[in-house]
Chain A
Amino acid sequence: EAGVAQSPRYKIIEKRQSVAFWCNPISGHATLYWYQQILGQGPKLLIQFQNNGVVDDSQLPKDRFSAERLKGVDSTLKIQPAKLEDSAVYLCASSLGDSGGAKTQYFGPGTRLLVL
């Protein structure tokens, strides 16, 4: 079974530029998550989708971050304009079914972003 796919794996941009990350979840997984992992910290949720609807985006900096999940499959996370503090690894994860606490989340390899 193919895992969660993410691209690109690495991205270097200058501050105030824009960047987009792509995620393809495991086939059949209805729930998709984007996490931000700053160096030395645990991942922190940015946004959670159930099919193509947003379940939780309370920690998404909406003035610069946006995300969509068209057709309830692939998802794109965008940052515009980027700030130095956005340098982090962006992780995509997916899980089966509706939002349930015990559902295992499967993570992609992440996109490492460096903002100069």
Chain B
Amino acid sequence: GDSVTQMEGPVTLSEEAFLTINCTYTATGYPSLFWYVQYPGEGLQLLLKATKADDKGSNKGFEATYRKETTSFHLEKGSVQVSDSAVYFCALANQAGTALIFGKGTTLSVSS
């Protein structure tokens, strides 16, 4: 079945460091891909999404490119801030339009 694998955490970085969180997927067809973020004490929020191959989603300085050839959707940010500390979830929705399938989440901790 469809699945999402993302890198284990926690990821600990200093402010202004470069961030990459790896995400790969297994799916039939052409799924849509998402990154959701969960800040401490808050609900899941959509960070960015991409709906077809080579699309780049971006928001708040974060970017991810839908790579069909490597079945990947890695999350990147050039310069992280303390306020980016959160849990990040990679997810897919398959072509049939059913619910999201999530990875296990990656905890990011940024220190000043």
Contacts and interface: CB of A to CB of B under 8 A. Distances in A.
Contacts of A110: 43
Q: Give 8 nearest A-B pairs by CB, closest first.
A: A42-B102, A99-B97, A45-B99, A107-B44, A101-B93, A109-B43, A101-B32, A102-B32
Contacts of A42: 4, 89, 91, 102-105
B64 to A, nearest CB: 15
A78 B34 CA distance: 29
Contacts of B89: 42-43
A101 B43 contact: no
Given A42-B91, A56-B98, A107-B45, A101 B103 contact: no
B95 A101 contact: yes
A101 B42 contact: no
Give the interface size class of chain B: 20 to 34
B94 interface: yes
A11 interface: no
Interface of B: 4, 31-32, 36, 42-46, 49, 51, 89, 91, 93-105
A104 B43 contact: no
A62 interface: no
22 contacts: A33-B99, A40-B104, A40-B105, A42-B4, A42-B104, A45-B98, A45-B101, A55-B98, A56-B98, A91-B43, A99-B98, A101-B94, A101-B97, A102-B49, A102-B93, A103-B97, A105-B46, A105-B99, A106-B46, A107-B43, A109-B42, A110-B43
